[in-house]
Amino acid sequence: MQEPLERLERGALTIVEALMKQGYEAYLVGGCVRDKLLSRKVKDYDIATSARPEQVKSAFARTIPTGLQHGTVTVVIEGQPYEVTTFRKEDAYEDHRRPAGVEYIDSLYEDLRRRDFTMNAMALDLEGRLIDPFHGRADMEQGILRCVGEAKERFEEDALRILRCIRFAAEYSMEVEGATWEALLAQVHLLKHIAMERVRMELERMIAGAAPVKAVKLLAASGALRYCKLPLLLADVSPDRLSEGLAQLHSPLERWAYMYLQLGAEAKAVEEELRNLTFSNHQVEEVRLIIAAARNVAGCLNGDPAGEVTASSYGESWKLAAVRFGKQAIRSLGAILAIDEDAAASAGIESGQARSLAGGSAVWLDEMPVGKTAELQINGGELISHIGKPAGPWVAPVLQHLLRAAALGTTPNSKEALLLEARRYDQLTERERDE
């Protein structure tokens, strides 16, 4: 059985061969060439050809007109999509992002010359021969990231290349060539033209990448995040305070939460920023819960539980926070504290507390018989029937009390024990209201 990567490459070469048999030039280009030369996993293959879009469409059984305005046709081979783009020159760029139009040409050299960085301006023919007019391979061997041609023009054409430059330098452990870096600094203000969604996509790939701390250092050195359409808290992240252990956090959202904890940001402010960056509701909530959980745990440990039941131990604090914010958020917080005991210092968790919490996190969470009300052996209907009161706002607090008691193990998670505790708690709260 062929590996997925081999099938992917085979499909791309099938397209190249088919176009060549019809008399057109065709090459693998861009990132797939770069990654093959670096022996990195190739995620997708792009093909450049002298064939016009309508000629590409007629050459294959299944195509999708995904980007005809830019000369791109998606060809589907064995269910796998491949972008096939006609050699082109580009008109003047609009709003420092995309060209006003394109002109189809017959020159691979001219097509490569319009690209951003030398390591992305290479091509491979069907026989595996490298076409490298701008010495991208030599730059990669020397660990240098360099713009094709005049760097200032490349960044002026498309300001998103500023963030791409930083991402590539971090991900591929490269140094930005001097003139390229100077041009980046001179043009960094053009990021105000870039949609926040595109900023988010680049930042996501940086933070999820192999060298997130280096990416943050380059962002800080360039001041890039201070020039976005909307102000970003992340612009104030100090790379010197970030642990190299950041890359050990497997979840990208844990990495984001770690940076916001280091900033001392409030959960509400983090939520607003992530929404401005167009993260999904699920992603926003996952990060927000981690930030909120850190402050809650600190409150429990330091005598300011903010309305929660005061805990008498680290384990109780951890379990109560898991009930309130979810086990996943607490597990993530534990992972963050494990890589940097000062991560939540601004939230009120001292380094000694952080060590204890990180060390006990997994055990305490595994000890919990329940973590949410759905896991209780009774439901709201049974509670109402047993107490003998009409449904009302009293139900939710009682269920929450039962959840906390069951999670801490002070009340067994059995219907009989829970109903008995529910009656006791309800009578107690009734007396307190009457006093």
Domain 375-435 part of CATH 1.10.3470? no
Domain 1-139 part of CATH 3.30.460.10? yes
Q: What is the tens place of the pLDDT at every residue in 4-37?
A: 558 899 999 999 999 999 999 999 999 999 999 9
State the Cα–Cα distance between residues 305 and 322, nearest whole angstrom. 14
The 10 Å CB-count burial string (b at 16+, else e) for 185-217 is eebbebbeebebeebbbbbbbbbbbebbbbbbb
User: Residue 100 above 70 pLDDT?
Assistant: no
Q: What is the tens place of the pLDDT at every residue in 292-334?
A: 999 999 998 887 544 444 456 899 999 999 999 999 999 999 9
Q: What is the tens place of the pLDDT at every residue in 208-261?
A: 999 999 999 999 999 999 999 999 999 999 999 999 999 999 999 999 999 999
C-alpha dihedral over 293, 294, 297, 303, to 10 degrees? -120
Handedness of CA 197, 329, 236, 275 (dihedral sign): positive
Q: With H, G, I as helix, E, B as strand and everything else as coil, classify residue 195.
A: coil
Q: How many CB atoms lie within 10 A of CB 1?
A: 5
State the Cα–Cα distance between residues 361 and 18, nearest whole angstrom. 57
Determine phi and psi for 178, rounding to 5 degrees: -55, -50
Which long-range CB contacts under 8 A does 238-241 form with residues at least 24 apart?
Answer: 238/262, 239/213, 241/342
Q: How many CB atoms lie within 10 A of CB 108?
A: 20
Q: Where in the chain is the domain with CATH 3.30.460.10?
A: 1-139
Q: How confident is the model at residue 97 (pLDDT cuts 50, 70, 90)?
A: low
- Closest among 132, 131, 146, 67 to 99, alpha carbons compared: 67
Tell me the C-alpha to C-alpha distance, in Å, between residue 1 and each of 5, 13, 15, 72, 78.
12, 19, 21, 32, 15
Q: How many CB atoms lie within 10 A of CB 11?
A: 18
User: Residue 431 above 90 pLDDT?
Assistant: no
Q: Where in the chain is the domain with CATH 1.10.246?
A: 375-435
Q: How confident is the model at residue 184 (pLDDT cuts 50, 70, 90)?
A: very high
Q: Where in the chain is the domain with CATH 1.10.110.30?
A: 143-229
State the Cα–Cα distance between residues 155 and 306, nearest whole angstrom. 49
Q: Are 317 and 299 in contact (CB under 8 A)?
A: no
Higher pLDDT, residue 144 or 90: 144
Q: Are 290 and 331 in contact (CB under 8 A)?
A: no
Mean pLDDT of 37-41: 95
State the Cα–Cα distance between residues 148 and 101, nearest whole angstrom. 20
> Two tokens at 280?
């999904």
Write down the pLDDT at residue 2.
Answer: 44
Q: How confident is the model at residue 69 (pLDDT cuts 50, 70, 90)?
A: confident
E strand or H helix at 88: strand 88-90
User: Structure pTM?
Assistant: 0.90
**To the nearest whole number, what is the mean pLDDT of the chain?**
93
What CATH architecture applies to the domain 143-229?
Answer: Orthogonal Bundle (1.10)
Write down the pLDDT at residue 91.
Answer: 64
Q: Are 71 and 77 in contact (CB under 8 A)?
A: no
